[in-house]
Structure formats: C-alpha cells, structure tokens
Amino acid sequence: MRRISISLLVSAALLSASARAEFSIPGYELVQTAPVETPLHSDDLRSAAQVWTEMFDNAKSEIVIGQFYTVIKPGSVFDKVIEHLEAAGKRGVKIRFLLDQKGVNLSEQPSIARLKAIQNLEFRVLDFNKLTGNGIIHAKYLVVDGATAYIGSQNFDWRSFEHIHETGLRITDQKVVGQVLAIFNQDWRAQALTSQGQTAPALNTHTVAADTSQQAFLLSSPNQFNPAGVGDSETGLPALLAEAKSEVRIQLLDYAPLSYGPKGTRPYYAVIDNAVRAAAARGVKIKLMVSNWNLESAPLPYLKSLAVLPNVEVRVVTLPVASSGFIPFARVIHSKTMVIDNRVAWVGTSNWSGGYMDLSRNLEVVLRNEKMAQRLAALQEQTWSSSYAQVLDINKQYPKPSKGSPE
C-alpha cells in the first residue's frame, strides 16, 4: 500500500511538472496560443488560457484589465477562463475593466453584460478618440495585485484562445509591471474626465525617447499619454531597427505604410517602413511574415514593393478552415513579434501601420536577452517553415481575403 501511495505521489508530481512546463527568463515567461488542428503548438510554452487562469486564481486584492473589445462564447476555452475571473470577484478581489468605445460595437452585448455582472467589477468605456482624435485602446493586457502583468496579442475574445496564433508575455519584472499599471491608471483617469465632458491633459508635450540600451523595457503609445519613464513606441521601433546588423525576423497580422483617415482614406505613413527598408539597404536580412488578411488591395502593392528589394523575403501565412466550418475573424496569425540578430526580442500589441504607434494605446516589451530572442525566433520559424507559409508572389493577383465571411 505504501509503495502504491509513493507511486501515486511521484506520478502526481510528474504531471504537475508537465503541466507547469514553461519557457522563461527572470521576470518574463513566453506564452503562446496555437490554433487548434494545426501542429504549431510548443510543448515548452504555456497557453494564454493556462496563464490567465493561474493569474486570476492567484489574485488577492486587485485585477485590472485593458482591452479593445470582448466576445465570450459559452462552452469555449475562454468561457472557462472567465469563470476563474468571476470566482476572483466572488472572493472579494476588486476588478477594474476598461474597454474601448469603438470596441463596444465589435463586442457581443451578452459578453459585456456578463462582465458587468461579475461581483466587485467596475466596468468603464473610454472613447480614445477624445484623447488623440482617431485612436483606440488596442493594447491587450492585465495586471494582478500590482505584481504580475500580461501583455500579448490576445484579444478578450474566445477565438484568440483557440483559433488564432497569438504570442504574449507573463511579466513579474516589477519595474515594467509598475509601468503597465501606471498606464492603466492613466487611461482610467482619462475615462473619468472625458465621460464628464472634461479634457484629459497630455502628460508629454515632446517625444520621450526610450532608453533602448536597457536589458528589459516597456514601450507604449501614444507618446503624449505615456506616464513618466515609459518610452515612445513610434520612435523606439525605428531606433531598434537601426541597430540591426545581420537579421530581423518579424511576425505580424499586417504591415503597411498606410494609416486610417476620414471616409475610408488610407494616408501614407512611412515611419516604420522607412526603418525596415533602411535596414535592408544596409545588408540586413529581413524576414517578414504576415497573415493572408494583409493581402487587401490597399497594402498589397507596398508589400510587393518591399518584397522585390535585396535582402527582403516576405511570406504570407494562410491557416486552414476549422473542421467545424468557417469561423468569422479567426484562423489567422495575429502575433506581433520581432527578433533582431538573435539578441533582441520584441513582443507587442501593435500592428505595423499608421494609427497604432502614434494614435492608439499599445504596449510593446523589448528584451535584450539571447535566450528569449532565440526561443522567439524558433517560434517564428515554426510557422515560417510550415506548409501554411508561402513566399509572396509579386506577379500574382491575390483574391480579397476572407475575414468575416467565406468567399
């Protein structure tokens, strides 16, 4: 009997260790969501569902969440995650949830109602347009007890936990966690002011350049509403690209030197594109991986013009439809990551086009750590070398991508 008990204890310990498998460096754990029915999962990376559940379960005093929109499907993996958020509220944990005004119409109203019904949860909606004229809360993040944060590409949407390729970081680096919380509190105060017809004062009247020599640091946008100590994303990204000597690997939903103007116009926005092209002109190899959603008529000519340059390769990733049938706005790569020279890792929430790093709330984490950079590069390579990725054909007329409905 004693042998059986010891055997069971050992088995339980092994199962626990397996369940806890993770890839991390001090202060940062790399987290992935792999689309179901694909071989893109990684045994050494925990899923966002696992990490968020653990964070909610460990919460003792406060959870703050900043998100663009919300869609919770009953019976989904994300539905189970929300049950743990609800349990935290029942335990007396204070929860503050900030949603973007434009995201309200993208959300399902039963999902908003469910969040509002959580005990001890205060729900607010911020019209980011009132801050920058044409912006949104595009960041996807949460902070628990002021001690642990999560930043990643996952929206507060059930599809982001099952049917979309996503990448994020669980963060325990107290300096960065404190900065993320300061950003949330800034936007929370801005909501209180703007909802009463008052103006939220800008925190910065000049660009605050990041100290990119740090080993680990946070970048954010928009610059004028960044708290003290947080560097500007829009100038930080080109500065990092200017450092590249041999190779830059990039994975994105979409890439375009275009912004979003009135009446559906797409004004030219060259800040990021200029930096990428300058790196290629120096002889740096650029490996740019984008989703098939990027093959729309407006950005496609710019992608092709980039792909013809020496030292640049662009691959387009198309994920197969789920066996259950077409799922609107799913089955896509949505990660926003970069690796420079296998030494610098970037994990963020911005798409690389206008409107994101200049006008909207986004968060980007930069880590000068070879171990993390090489693991992130390997994660990118997994999709880059898969059958889902194809080299962009500059002579091909691509059909309009199917996002919200099958063509």
Mean per-residue pLDDT for 51-66? 99
Calculate mean pLDDT across residues 64-85. Answer: 99
Q: Taking all residues of the chain, what is their mean pLDDT, rounded to a whole number?
A: 95
In this prediction, residue 11 has a pLDDT band, given cuts at 50, 70 and 90, of very low
Query: Does residue 12 carry a pLDDT above 60?
Result: no
The residues facing 356 across adjacent strands are none
State the Cα–Cα distance between residues 94 and 73, nearest whole angstrom: 24
Please give the angle made by the CA atoms of 104, 363 and 179, to the nearest 5 degrees.
Answer: 110
What is the pLDDT, as a whole number, of residue 20? 57
pLDDT average, residue stretch 69-81: 99
pLDDT one-digit tens code per residue, 123-174:
999 999 999 999 999 999 999 999 999 999 999 999 999 999 999 999 999 9
> What percent of the chain shows pLDDT beyond 70?
95
Q: For the segment 206-222, what is each residue's pLDDT rounded down to a tens digit?
A: 999 999 999 999 999 99
Q: What confidence category does residue 61 fall into, taking pLDDT thresholds of 50, 70 and 90?
A: very high
Say if residue 101's pLDDT is above 60: yes
Mean pLDDT along residues 112-119: 99
The answer to whether 138 and 361 are in contact (CB under 8 A) is: yes
| Residue that the structure tokens 């499907």 belong to | 73
Reply yes or no on whether the pLDDT at 18 is more than 90. Answer: no
DSSP-assigned beta bridge partners for residue 366: 217, 346
Helix, strand, coil percent content, the chain, rounded in steps of 5: 35, 25, 40
φ, ψ dihedrals at 263, nearest 5°: 55, 40
Do residues 170 and 142 touch, judged by C-beta distance below 8 A?
no
CB 259 within 8 A of CB 280: no
Strands 94-100 and 62-67: parallel
Give the tens place of pLDDT for each residue, 181-240: 999 999 999 999 999 999 999 999 999 999 999 999 999 999 999 999 999 999 999 999
Q: Check residues 327 and 20 and name the one with the higher pLDDT.
A: 327
pLDDT in tens, 284-307: 999 999 999 999 999 999 999 999
Q: Residue count of the chain, please give it.
A: 407
235-277 per-position pLDDT tens digit: 999 999 999 999 999 999 999 999 999 999 999 999 999 999 9
What's the alpha-carbon Rg for the chain, to the nearest Å? 21
| Per-residue model confidence (pLDDT) at position 21 | 75
Residues sharing a CB contact under 8 Å with residue 65, sequence separation 6 or more, in sequence order: 95, 96, 97, 98, 141, 142, 156
- Contacts of residue 195, defined as CB under 8 A and 6 or more positions apart, other chains included, come to 124
Mapped onto helix, strand or coil, the DSSP state of residue 242 is: coil
* Gap between the Cα atoms of 348 and 365, Å rounded: 6
Q: Which amino acid is at 239?
A: A
Q: CB of 200 within 8 A of CB of 222?
A: no
Which of the pair, 4 or 369, is modelled with greater confidence? Answer: 369
**What structural domains and CATH numbers belong to the chain?**
22-391 (3.30.870.10)
Q: Is the peptide bond before 222 cis (omega within 30 degrees of 0)?
A: yes
Q: Is the pLDDT of residue 1 over 70?
A: no
The pLDDT score that the predictor gives to residue 2 is: 40
Both tokens assigned to 277 = 């092209």
Q: Tell me the CA distances in angstroms from 290 to 19, 154, 389, 399, one per residue in order.
A: 31, 16, 9, 16
Give the torsion through C-alpha atoms of 70, 71, 74, 80, to 10 deg: -40
User: Reduced to 3 states, what is the DSSP secondary structure of residue 234?
Assistant: helix
Who wins on pLDDT, 10 or 347? 347
Output the pTM of the full model: 0.94
Is 268 in contact with 258 (CB distance < 8 Å)? Answer: yes
What pLDDT score was predicted for residue 16?
Answer: 42
